[in-house]
Structure 1
């Protein structure tokens, strides 16, 4: 008998599939962030997600496809966040600080971002065409530091592109060291040290 009312079955199946896919990605992020790519199996992900291995295979054929999707989710997060900060009307240097503040907060509290950060470090172990890390950050922060330079907010001898490369290296190194040594328990304190020393060195 055909259903007399309610929503079509196909959209319901699509919604269920999207929810399952999200559960799988969340579970994969948790185990990748904690154990690293090499140590994790698809069975580990399935158990963490509360699914059968067959259900997982319906969405992802291997670990590489999971890792690639997590990195892509991570990369897609930043452009809208940065756009909203730049539209807030702050000075270029304050914009730079706000971007770093918000990024630190995200790295500290979002397991998907933590997993992507670890996967980028372990990219030599992942046989997939992952996007090149860090370059978009360098490009974005170069633009912001150049505006800060033009606005007279940076010391005259500061090169905006060099400053951007240094900031990116410092930020990603800071969060990785905090993760390894304290499980990110001291990340905020280490970030504030980095930020304050950085600003002391470049601010006009």
Structure 2
């Protein structure tokens, strides 16, 4: 049996434009409640009714903002990715060295994966794309690009040990971090993520720093 084709984000009908919606705060409330529900139960085991109950709203009120469950899931994943440019800008404004910038960014990402419902839900929904039936952003490649640039700058600044290849380091830290957070989520519900990230951070820094 041929599986149904994935819908692209542009194919998916959306709710009202939040910029013109007088109840934008209600939309944000729905998003946060949905993030908590999806993070706890996953896409298949969650329903719009679950989200409505968590907000104390009716299903109709939720559907006003998000016509379907897949639209709501897509919005959460997009919000998940929309947060990272702000993190990068904030860290860039601190004036740190390239290597310190890379590590500070990852520190903040680790903190978000530890306690931010939208970050956690976005990651889980990304892994459950086959169940959602909507084309989601390709994971990891953006982070690899960001880390590659920072490690190239660190190399130029003389912060890396001889023989370190920025592109390889970028792939390694991204794969190691996201693998670490996945193991932490599976074994402890991310309760030990901060500790596991610090272990990885110290080992990584010891291995690459001049």
TM-score of the pair, normalised by structure 1: 0.89
2:168 aligned with 1:167, yes or no? no
Counterpart in 2 of 1:137? 143
Counterpart in 1 of 2:164? 158
Counterpart in 1 of 2:61? 55
Say if 2:42 and 2:125, in contact at 8 Å, map to a contact too: yes
The root-mean-square deviation of aligned C-alpha atoms, in Å, is: 1.3
Counterpart in 2 of 1:195? 201
Higher normalized helix content (fraction of residues): 1
Identify which of structures 1 and 2 has the higher relative contact order when contacts are C-alpha pairs closer than 8 Å and 6+ apart: 2
For residues 179 and 84 of structure 2, what CA distance do their matches in structure 1 show? 18
For residues 151 and 177 of structure 1, what CA distance do their matches in structure 2 show? 34
Counterpart in 1 of 2:84? 78
SS where residue 100 of structure 1 aligns?
helix
Q: Which has the larger radius of gyration?
A: 1
2:180 aligned with 1:180, yes or no? no
Across the two proteins, how many residue pairs are aligned to each other?
191
For residues 147 and 106 of structure 2, what CA distance do their matches in structure 1 show? 10
Q: CA deviation at 1:14?
A: 3.5
Counterpart in 1 of 2:43? 37
Aligned pairs for 1:89-128 (under 5 A) are 89-128=95-134
